[in-house]
Structure 1
Amino acid sequence: MEVTDKFEPIIAKDSDLSGSTFTRCMLKDARFADVAMPSADIQNINLSDAAIREMNLSRASFTEGMLPGVRFTAVNLSGAMFDDVNLAGTTIRGADLRGMQISGCKLDRMRIDGILVSDLLAAFRKSA
């Protein structure tokens, strides 16, 4: 199935869209509930100021994206990779971060459990 230039909302319920490809799509005001995206390959995405709750993003790969101001709450990010992503102002609460990797990312004003990541990194470097 291919959807091109569709301007009406699409409702996908109780669907398995594994292996689907979304390219140059506008998903403004889209709603995702009870969605699992393990091992998703997410490139050059703009999720500015999005609220992401109770989602499985384990082993997902985020590359060259815009996620400033995103609020991750109770999200499984175990094994996820963020590479060259703008995470400025991002907040992470109650998330599974085991094995998560962040490299080459903007972290200004990013918080984990209310603590500025820049402060955590400064304390780590001072103690090393």
Structure 2
Amino acid sequence: MKSPVPVCLALSICISTAFAQKPDEYNGCQLREGALCADMNLNGLTLRGTDLANSQFSGSNLAKAQLREVIFDGANLTRIDLHGADLQNASLIEVDLRAANLANANLSGSEGTNANMQNVIARAANFQYVQFQGADFAGAEMALANFDGAKLQRATFRSANLKGATFRSADLRGVNFTNADLTGADLTGALVDAAMFSRAITKDCKACP
């Protein structure tokens, strides 16, 4: 005689199935192009290659999220918490990341042409080999950030804190460092043609003009 299936087990299965999240949903956020997910707790989200272009994530918590190759083109990510997040090879073209927290985040290989990064907090963030031509980093807090090999032509770092940041072999042609703090920074091998260093602090900066 077969043992009957316990009622509690069957009920448990029904409940877990009924409340299971859809693959394209996370904590109430519909993960798609044009998503409206402002001020949400999405801590630890894991995605790869998802198209979230033109979405709204302002004020949301995506700390330590895994977002490799995700497309955020034109998205509103103002005040978002992405500290410790993995954004390797992500697309951030014309994204709005004003006042975002990117401390210790990994953006290596990402593309952020004309991104708005004003007042971003990106201490010790990894920007190696990124393509952020024309991006605006004015007023950013980026001490110890790594921009080695980055393409940053015509980007703006006005009044940014770049203490100890590295730009080794980066393309800095036409970059505006006016009033930036480059104390202890390293520009060894960087291309600095037409770059502006007016009133910049360059104490102990390697290869600064």
Is the structural similarity TM-score above 0.5?
Answer: yes
Q: Report the equivalent of 1:62.
A: 107
The structure that has the greater radius of gyration is 2
Of 5, 21, 46 in structure 2, the residue corresponding to residue 21 of structure 1 is: 46
Shift of 1:13: 5.6
3-state DSSP of counterpart to 2:97? strand
Q: Which runs of 5+ in 1 are unaligned?
A: none
Report what 1:32 is aligned to.
57
Q: Say which SS state the counterpart of residue 117 (structure 2) adopts.
A: strand
Instruction: Quote the Cα distance in structure 2 between the aligned partners of 1:101 and 1:8.
Output: 30
- Report how far residue 125 of structure 1 moved: 2.9
- In structure 2, distance between residues paired with 1:32 and 1:12: 5
TM-score of the pair, normalised by structure 1:
0.81
Give the structure with the larger strand fraction: 1
Q: 1:10: Cα distance to partner?
A: 4.7
Take 2:56 and 2:126, find their aligned partners in 1: how far apart are those partners? 23
AA aligned to 1:125 is: A
The reply to whether residue 116 of structure 1 matches residue 141 of structure 2 is: no
In structure 2, list runs of 5 or more residues that go unmatched.
1-20, 26-30, 60-79, 160-174, 178-191
Q: How does 1:1-128 map to 2 (within 5 A)?
A: 1=21, 2-3=23-24, 10-12=35-37, 15-34=40-59, 35-113=80-158, 116=176, 118=192, 119=195, 125=207, 127=209
Q: TM-score, length-normalised on structure 2?
A: 0.52
C-alpha separation in 1, matches of 2:54 and 2:33: 13
Q: How many angstroms apart in 1 are the aligned matches of 2:93 and 2:151?
A: 13
Separation of aligned partners in 2, 1:68 and 1:11? 23
Structure possessing the higher relative contact order (Cα contacts under 8 Å, 6 or more residues apart): 1
Q: Secondary structure at the match of 2:107?
A: strand
Aligned residues: 126
> In 1, Cα distance between the equivalents of 2:45 and 2:142?
26
Q: Verify the 8 A CA contact 2:36 2:56 in the aligned structure 1.
A: no
SS at match of 1:101: coil
% identical equivalent positions? 22
Please give the alpha-carbon distance, in whole angstroms, between the structure 1 residues aligned to 2:155 and 2:36.
Answer: 33
